[in-house]
């Protein structure tokens, strides 16, 4: 059958199960947009390519599917770069389709030409510059395969315009993946599993430290089974929130720089650390020499390169986290009892609970807003966050229960991530309440996406914890730079209520702590447009506890 | 810290060399030398990399390179019995009074004179890196005008 390149491309996307894409049109991607015009693939028009790629990531994280975004060449493609780097750091499967100038123009600095494959080399799992139309079906197949298998990540497919315009006789058929240099990880070292089981049986003060890898592997059930069988306390990273139910008595909360005191103390006293789908990031470990000093380490991860990268591991197990945990669980009997270890932890929990100071004269404490969101949603919402104080308070005080329901920029720390990610999550899960916990700085980095949310009638709720500061940087300036608030005071702000209304959304301003609940309830009643709630919070509230950068985990400020 | 020779088998595709060097640079490792060429199979190229580092660093380089889709196989042949060769071209100052001496040195190293100019010669030699170092040193008293080394290529001996 005679088909244009762009039509073949869309056909291949549908073969991969794609029904929704996020994008923004432009000159060199015109043929693809022309084909989309008569396609039943749903295209969500962002207002900026960065919005499109973050939305695709939010969609991927909420749904477990590969997120797809489309941009034109040059500036369209370079506007994706932050989102691609974000997905790479957080191991989220994305396929980014970028327009490119015609093959005869490549390398001549043509209008809107950028070497996106060169630019994204260190921030993609793989990328392709399509050189001929006949390659399109294989390239698309491989791109999705690479994006979603092993440790997931973003793949860029660069599509020269003439190839998308060209017509060939196309017969759809089965394509066999034949990648000599890429094998999907199967199985695990059974001997290592047995050693791990023995080590778990012998441990007196074990802790599970789990991360995004558990969510990517859909292994929350296996993880919970291990913890409950052996009564092992669980702490998670920011990326791991939701991999273990926060209302379980074994839950320690998040560890690391803004972790709970009891999680960090537990790491410090532990004799066995079971690290699952994590990469020992510096925000988690603090000073490496003082991290889990008494513990043997079992490290389970799909990516062999993560093992031994930052810490020495006693039992490395490379493999799919779900498979490996199931194998370990199978070899372990359930134990009963409440040991000295649990007693110690409960004492810490009692002595150092998560808490925050009262505010003066009815002003809103930002933590209170997050607690209220948790209470009103019962922990059943999808929470996205921006980056900074808002993100840490969300992680500390929203006690999420389910995987794929806490969506935050972990590795890259991208301000402006949360709102577009919330749009993607809402499209993936239209029946869930989706709330972006935002700061007044971050939200302004992708505020234009109000247009997208309004156009598609998406009732995404943005809760701005508005302290008129770039709060996390201000906090560091206060603690480590003598209170010199260099360019972090952003008192000059738009009227967020009017801004929401200007886009066709709903705007609510809350200045009094007594009105927080009513405002959230009002927002959750809105079913057909975005809502901004502008919470005027205590300006100089800090995120505590805090491990100063480079310090040992036990060396926490605040929360004592 | 030790020099490691890694033999990296890759897809013979555009951009693969850039992928390999990007990983090495980005992770903060240093390349001492790098050669690349097609193998007996035209769809496969061989990159021979010499990297300096202790064992954990080499392990990380290897693991990070393995994550590249276009990297098929990596062998650290430092400890293997292998044949290693490098080629050097040296343009050396040579007026008539010293030419005989230079020819003798080149003969000792089983090199060749490949070009004769009015006041210079170009010498070609192959061998393992220590031999190339030695010939460089032997010729330097005459005055080296220009020198270029290919970097190392290597192959494991025997059936492997």
Task: Residue B141: give its domain's CATH number.
Answer: 3.30.70.1150
Compute how many other C-beta atoms are within 10 angstroms of the C-beta atom of residue B64: 19
Residue spans of the domains in chain A: they are 2-169, 190-351, 366-536
pLDDT digits (tens, 9 = 90+) for A64-73: 999 999 999 9
Predicted confidence band of residue B1 (pLDDT cuts 50, 70, 90): confident
Structure tokens at B41: 């199979």
Rounded distance between C-alpha atoms, residue A434 and residue A436, angstroms: 7
- On whether both B65 and B93 belong to a single domain, the answer is no
pLDDT tens per residue, range A151-176: 999 999 999 999 999 999 999 888 99
Do the first three CATH levels of A2-169 and A190-351 match, i.e. the same topology? yes
Which of B51, B76, B101 represents a domain boundary (last residue)?
A: B76
Residue that is last in its domain, among B25, B59, B76: B76
Which pLDDT tens digit goes with each residue over B32-74? Answer: 889 999 998 999 999 999 998 888 888 999 999 999 999 999 9
State mean pLDDT over B17-30: 89
The answer, yes or no, to whether the previous bond of A545 is cis (omega within 30 of 0) is yes
State the pLDDT at residue B89.
Answer: 96
pLDDT given at position B159:
75
Region A530-535: mean pLDDT is: 98
What is the average per-residue pLDDT within B88-103? 94
Query: CB within 8 A of A164, min separation 6: which ones?
Result: A4, A5, A6, A9, A29, A31, A32, A99
The C-alpha of B50 sits at a distance from chain A's nearest C-alpha, in angstroms, of 20
Q: Return the percent helix, strand and coil in chain A, to nearest 5.
A: 40, 20, 45
The answer to whether A253 touches A246, Cβ cutoff 8 Å, is: yes
Helix, strand, or coil here: A178?
coil
Given this model, what pLDDT does residue A466 score?
98
Name which of A510, A516, A531 is nearest A461 in CA terms: A531
> What string of DSSP letters covers A50-74?
HHHHHHHHHHHHHHSS-EEEEE-ST
Average pLDDT for residues A74-90, to the nearest whole number? 98
A396 band by pLDDT with thresholds 50, 70 and 90: very high
User: Any alpha helices (H) in A134-244, and if so which ranges?
Assistant: 136-148, 161-165, 190-202, 212-216, 220-230
Distance from C-alpha of B82 to C-alpha of A91, rounded to nearest angstrom: 39
**pLDDT value of position B25:** 87
CA dist A88 and A27 (Å) reads 27
pLDDT per position as a tens digit, A111-121 = 999 999 999 99
- Same domain for B91 and B69, yes or no, is no
Residue B23: its chain A contacts at CB < 8 A?
Answer: 122
Percent with pLDDT over 70 in chain A: 100
Instruction: State the pLDDT at residue A53.
Output: 98
Indicate whether B72 and B87 sit together in one domain: no
Chain A residue whose CA is closest to B8: A181
Question: What phi and psi, each to the nearest 5 degrees, are found at residue A84?
Answer: -65, -45
Judging contacts by C-beta atoms under 8 Å, the chain A residues touching residue B69 are 125-126, 146, 179, 181-182
Contact predicate A324/A300, CB 8 Å:
yes
In CATH terms, the superfamily for domain A2-169 is: Thiamin diphosphate (ThDP)-binding fold, Pyr/PP domains (3.40.50.970)
Please state, in angstroms and rounded to a whole number, the distance separating the CA atoms of residues A550 and A286: 5
Name the residue with higher pLDDT: A466 or A308: A466
pLDDT of residue A337: 84
- Token duo for residue A409: 């920029």
Task: Among A88-97, A106-115, A247-256, B54-63, name the one with the lowest average pLDDT.
Answer: B54-63
Interface contact flag, B63 A305, Cβ < 8 Å? yes
Q: Hey, are the CB atoms on B70 and A181 less than 8 Å from each other?
A: yes
pLDDT digits (tens, 9 = 90+) for A354-371: 999 887 778 999 999 999
pLDDT value for A462: 98
Q: Into which CATH architecture does domain A366-536 fall?
A: 3-Layer(aba) Sandwich (3.40)
Q: How far is A291 from chain B (nearest CA, A)?
A: 20
Nearest Cα residue to A277 out of A247, A314, A322, A310:
A322
pLDDT one-digit tens code per residue, A179-198: 999 999 999 999 999 999 99
- Cβ atoms of A420 and A54 closer than 8 Å: yes
d(CA B75, CA B7): 5
Q: Are residues B38 and B70 in the same domain?
A: yes
Class of domain A190-351 as given by CATH: alpha beta
Give backbone dihedrals phi and psi of A109, rounded to 5 degrees, phi first: 55, 45
**For the segment A104-140, what is each residue's pLDDT rounded down to a tens digit?**
999 999 999 999 999 999 999 999 999 999 999 999 9
B-interface mutation test, from A91, A103, A121, A157, most B Cβ less than 10 A away = A121
Measured distance CA(A92)–CA(A36) in Å, rounded: 25
pLDDT above 70 coverage of chain B, percent:
99
Residue A426's SS3 state is helix
CA A360 to chain centre: 34
Does any CB of chain B come closer than 8 Å to the CB of residue A118? yes
Average pLDDT for chain B: 92
Structure tokens, A36: 């989309």
Domains: count for chain B: 2
pLDDT of residue B160: 63
| A193-245 residue pLDDT tens | 999 999 999 999 999 999 999 999 999 999 999 999 999 999 999 999 999 99
* Domain range enclosing B147: 82-156
- Calculate mean pLDDT across residues A298-322: 96
**B31 shares a domain with B7:** yes
Domain check: are B131 and B149 in the same one?
yes
Average pLDDT, chain A: 96
Judgement on whether residues B101 and B72 belong to the same structural domain of the protein: no
From B43, B76, B109, give the residue that closes a domain. B76
Both B143 and B91 in a single domain? Answer: yes
């Amino acid at each position: 059958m005679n088909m244009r390149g762009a039509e073949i491309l869309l056909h291949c996307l549908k073969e991969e199960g794609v029904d929704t894409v996020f994008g923004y049109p432009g000159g060199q991607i015109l043929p693809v947009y022309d084909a989309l015009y008569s396609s039943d693939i749903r295209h969500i028009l962002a207002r900026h390519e960065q919005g499109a790629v973050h939305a695709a990531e939010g969609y991927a994280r909420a749904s477990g599917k590969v997120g797809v975004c489309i941009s034109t060449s040059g500036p369209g493609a370079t506007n994706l770069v932050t989102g691609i780097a974000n997905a790479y750091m957080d191991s989220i499967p994305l396929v980014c389709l970028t327009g490119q100038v015609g093959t005869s123009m490549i390398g001549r600095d043509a209008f809107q030409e950028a070497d996106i494959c060169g630019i994204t080399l260190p921030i993609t799992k793989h990328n392709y510059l399509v050189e001929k139309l006949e390659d399109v079906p294989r390239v698309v197949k491989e791109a999705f395969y690479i994006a979603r298998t092993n440790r997931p990540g973003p793949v860029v497919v660069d599509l020269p315009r003439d190839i998308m315009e060209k017509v060939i006789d196309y017969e759809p058929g089965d394509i066999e993946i034949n990648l000599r240099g890429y094998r999907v990880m199967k199985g695990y070292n059974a001997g290592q599993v047995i050693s791990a089981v023995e080590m778990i049986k012998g441990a007196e003060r074990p802790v599970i430290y789990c991360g995004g890898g558990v969510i990517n592997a859909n292994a929350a059930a296996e993880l919970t089974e291990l913890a409950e069988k052996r009564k092992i306390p669980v702490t998670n990273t920011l990326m791991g929130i939701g991999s273990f139910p926060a209302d379980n008595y074994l839950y320690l909360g998040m560890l690391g720089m803004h972790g709970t005191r009891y999680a960090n103390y537990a790491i410090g006293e532990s004799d066995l650390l079971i690290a699952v789908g994590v990469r020992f990031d510096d925000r988690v470990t603090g000073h490496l020499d003082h991290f889990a000093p008494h513990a043997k380490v079992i490290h389970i991860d799909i990516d062999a390169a993560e093992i031994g990268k930052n810490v020495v591991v006693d039992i490395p197990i490379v493999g799919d986290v779900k498979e490996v945990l199931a194998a370990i669980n199978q070899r372990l009997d359930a134990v009963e009892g409440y040991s000295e270890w649990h007693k110690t932890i409960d004492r810490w929990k009692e002595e150092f609970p998560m808490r925050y100071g009262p505010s003066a004269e009815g002003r809103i404490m930002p933590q209170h807003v997050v607690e209220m969101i948790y209470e009103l949603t019962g922990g059943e919402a999808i929470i996205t966050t921006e980056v900074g104080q808002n993100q840490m308070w969300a992680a500390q005080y929203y006690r999420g229960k389910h995987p794929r329901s806490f969506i935050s920029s972990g590795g890259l720390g991208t301000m402006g991530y949360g709102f577009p990610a919330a749009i993607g999550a809402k499209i993936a899960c239209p029946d869930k309440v989706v709330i972006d916990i935002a700061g007044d700085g971050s939200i302004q980095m992708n505020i234009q996406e109000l247009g997208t949310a309004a156009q598609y009638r998406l009732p995404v709720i943005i809760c701005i914890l508005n302290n008129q500061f770039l709060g996390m940087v201000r906090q560091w300036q206060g603690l480590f730079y003598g209170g010199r608030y260099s360019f972090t005071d952003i008192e000059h702000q738009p009227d967020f209520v009017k801004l929401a209304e200007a886009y066709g959304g709903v705007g609510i301003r809350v200045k009094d702590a007594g009105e927080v609940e009513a405002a959230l309830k009002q927002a959750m009643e809105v079913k057909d447009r975005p809502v901004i709630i502008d919470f005027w919070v205590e300006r100089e509230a800090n995120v505590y506890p805090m491990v100063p950068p480079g310090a040992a985990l036990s060396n926490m400020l605040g929360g004592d | 810290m030790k020099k490691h020779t890694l033999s990296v088998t890759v897809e013979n595709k555009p951009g693969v060399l850039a992928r390999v060097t990007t990983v090495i640079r980005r992770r903060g490792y240093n390349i001492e030398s790098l050669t690349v060429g097609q193998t007996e199979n035209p769809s496969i190229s061989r990159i021979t990399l010499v990297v300096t580092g202790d064992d954990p660093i080499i392990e990380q380089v290897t693991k990070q390179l393995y994550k590249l889709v276009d990297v098929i196989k990596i062998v650290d042949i430092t400890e293997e019995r292998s044949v290693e060769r490098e080629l050097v071209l040296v343009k050396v100052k040579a007026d008539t009074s010293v030419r005989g001496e230079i020819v003798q040195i080149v003969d000792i190293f089983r090199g060749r004179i490949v070009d004769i100019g009015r006041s210079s010669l170009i010498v070609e030699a192959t061998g393992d890196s220590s031999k190339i170092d030695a010939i460089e040193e032997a010729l330097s008293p005459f005055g080296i005008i220009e020198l270029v080394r290919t970097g190392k290529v290597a192959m494991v001996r025997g059936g492997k």
